[in-house]
Amino acid sequence: MKPKAIDLFAGPGGLSLGLIEAGFDVIAAIEYDEAAGRTYKQNIGNHVFTRDIRELDPSEIKKALGAKGSLQKGEDLALIAGGPPCPGFSLIGRSKISDLIEKGQFQASEDPRVKFLADDRNLLFEEFVKYVKSFQPKYFVMENVQGMESFQYEDEDSIIDHIKSRFQRYEVSEKVLCASDYGVPQDRNRIIFLGYHKKKANPISFEEVEKGRVSKKLTARDAIVDLSRAEPSDSGIVRVRDPGGGRLGKNFRRMMRDWEVWDDKKQERVRSTGGRKTNHISRKPNARDMVLFPLIESGSERFKEDERGTTWDGKRVVYGDLYDGSDSKWDNLAKKFEEAGLSVSTEEVDGKMRHFVEKLGVRKWIMYPSKGESGEGKFVDKFRRMKWDEPSPTIMAHLAKDGYMFIHPWLNRTISVREAARLQSFPDSFDFQKGGGNSKSDMFRQVGNAVPPLLAKAIGETIMQALGNSSD
């Protein structure tokens, strides 16, 4: 009998998928988002509860599992896993809060840390604690953003120390793991909490997890090379020719091929792609994109400063070498815009010369603003072409909005939902479902919020070993 697990804050099922691959029987999952819940049900099983975990008591889950025979009264649960969303702990979340404080929507006299914690989304880890306390599993795994490391809880304790103290009867350790060390073609750093029950379970450590590190990291090219053979379609379904022994790594090839998905009651194959790739949908380039994209080399991240200060902060600059401050460089770029049917102009803004591109005589885009500028029509897109010979940067939930941060390594378009899923290590058979809004946004959000399956698999295999089981 396979060890049983429950997945909290399951999203589309990346964590569940990895645990299943490691040999676990995931008997229940809880996910608030309806689109993600549909994705989970479509690809993994009907055992997902699409509910707000704050309104779903553990006793209700126990009752439902008992009625189905999934977990008998008095039977030990092997694992609870999950990644509570805590937007206030992320660097992006902190930036947004800072903007709200500046706008006067938060009291300036109040410590912003208090405001973070006043947002109940940032306290969802308490729901995770509640479920661990109720089920008393042998092990638990909790994933979160690396930004949590630098967050202080109240006056003294770090948020990490506070969280660890909430798990009574458990020995808890934490460590930042990078997904690319475990076969995921993406540099994604996440803090992982790993706990074992002091009386029920064998000890476990991150030393064992780290034995699963790969010897060579996979690159963006490794992950998406064959998808360049087919342009994204409106339907999101394309057929591509096998890359024929490309550079796909062993573990990555295994995840990319068709695999067996099981429902709750029968061991039955429910999906096979048969060479078809789903969700191959991307943002369509506009006239401006077709001018800029060819000018950005692979991995380009910044352009040069000049005396007018027309540059972005070096840590966030992503334009590539589009403009070095010289008039001749701008003239050449302006000519390309005009050839694409877009009008251009140069104006003085706050004593500095700024270049604009006008669209349909209505909206102006500031092409090279300095940090701190404000005003309607500010150009906020940041261009970055991914490096083809390195792991991808962290795939984000808001990739649909910030797609220009993920320009394809060698094609003049942003990456598709399927390519983002590959970079997260989802197999091609995994079909992301649309929500009620923009379909691409819904699917990108699910992909970006997910735990990479191969990272989850590595952690799951370590726990399986501690349980005395194998993943064969």
| First and final C-alpha spacing in the chain | 13
| Residue 178 designated active-site | no
Cα torsion through 36, 39, 45, 46, rounded to 10: 60
Annotated catalytic residue, options 86, 142, 238, 396 = 86
Catalogue the long-range contacts made by 166-170 (C-beta closer than 8 Å, 24 or more residues apart): 166/125, 166/126, 166/129, 167/129, 167/132, 167/140, 167/195, 168/133, 169/136, 169/197, 169/198, 169/199, 170/132, 170/140, 170/195, 170/196, 170/197, 170/198
CA 216 to chain centre: 22
Q: Assess contact for 10 and 30: CB atoms under 8 A.
A: yes
Alpha-carbon distance of 109 to 126, in angstroms, equals 27
**Quick one: residue 247, left, alpha or beta (phi over 0 = left, psi -120 to 50 = alpha)?**
alpha
Q: Assess contact for 281 and 227: CB atoms under 8 A.
A: no
DSSP 13: S
Instruction: Please return the burial class of 361, using the count of CB atoms within 10 Å of its CB with bins 0-12, 13-18 and 19+.
Output: exposed
Non-local CB neighbours of 109 within 8 Å, separated by 6+ positions: none
Alpha-carbon distance of 338 to 344, in angstroms, equals 7
Q: Assess contact for 77 and 135: CB atoms under 8 A.
A: yes
Q: How many residues are present in the chain?
A: 472
Active site amino acids:
86
